[in-house]
Amino acid sequence: MPQIRQQLTIDALSNFVDDIAKVTSFTISNIQITYQLIDFGYEVQNMVMSMPKFLIKSNGWANSATTIPAGTLGSQSIIFNQRFASIKSAIIIPNFSGEYNKSFDSFDITQDGTYQIQIGSNMFPQLCLNAGTNKSAFLQELRKSQGNLYDFKNTMSINSVEFDYKDDGAPTPTQPAKFYIAIDTTRIGCGSSLNLLNGCSSQNSPITVLLNIAIQTGASRNLNLVLNYDALLEIDPATSMVSARV
């Protein structure tokens, strides 16, 4: 009897979620930044003021987007003019503004086509990722780019249904589309955050996303390129100024 009640509860919850109206807009408001300030006194302040400039290793994220028109088919070369000295990984996020989750869904717009990026003369990965013949490689590349290639606990919480959505799929609030095309561009290790300036440079050339769309898109789609890059924060104690070198 408890098992039957539990199943009825799960079915009722699923039906309730499916009946929820589609998301039309969202707003982020009342954002606050809080911090603690410790006053060490003028002696420590004078000591800090006399220090030379110093650097702190950090990293940043950059997002750019473009639109793929309806009826697009075959090989596509999409250029993104983002310039960084050390790109650690690139994440291609195809999405559209329809369905329940709007631009928060990401799915295979090529419908079993291929993905690859080019930075200068370098191809990442060297053999393009093929969603039709080796879709599991996408998930492995995602793990590699995030530095958890050998983590078999599925800490990214992506199940097979969420990962298998294509352009003609219909994601729901309970099972959103999570087909992320992440590519590791580091030169040593995989996704390691311990090495300084370990990524590929795009300062002398743009980044080209190479797609081979197997079935033409039925409507216009958005294509986001998110880059994780190394950044050096230069601290000037004398002027209390911070500048970033990317």
pLDDT of residue 62: 93
Query: Number of structural domains, the chain?
Result: 1
CA 17, chain centre distance (Å): 27
* 144-182 pLDDT tens trace: 887 776 666 656 788 888 999 888 778 888 888 899 999
The answer to whether residues 239 and 121 touch, using CB atoms and an 8 Å cutoff, is no
Altogether, the residues listed in the chain come to a count of 246
* 54-82 pLDDT tens trace: 888 888 899 999 999 999 999 999 999 99
Nearest Cα residue to 96 out of 224, 225, 227, 226: 224
Give residue 178's identity as a one-letter amino acid code: K
Neighbour-count burial of 74, counting CB atoms closer than 10 A to its CB (0-12 exposed, 13-18 middle, 19+ buried) = exposed
Report phi then psi at 180, rounded to 5.
Answer: -100, 130
**Average pLDDT, stretch 198-203?**
88
Assign residue 231 the CATH number of its domain. Answer: 2.60.120.20
Bridge partners for 66 per DSSP: 223
Residue 171 structural domain: 2-245
Per-residue pLDDT band for 99 (boundaries 50, 70, 90) equals: low
Q: What is the mean pLDDT of the chain?
A: 82
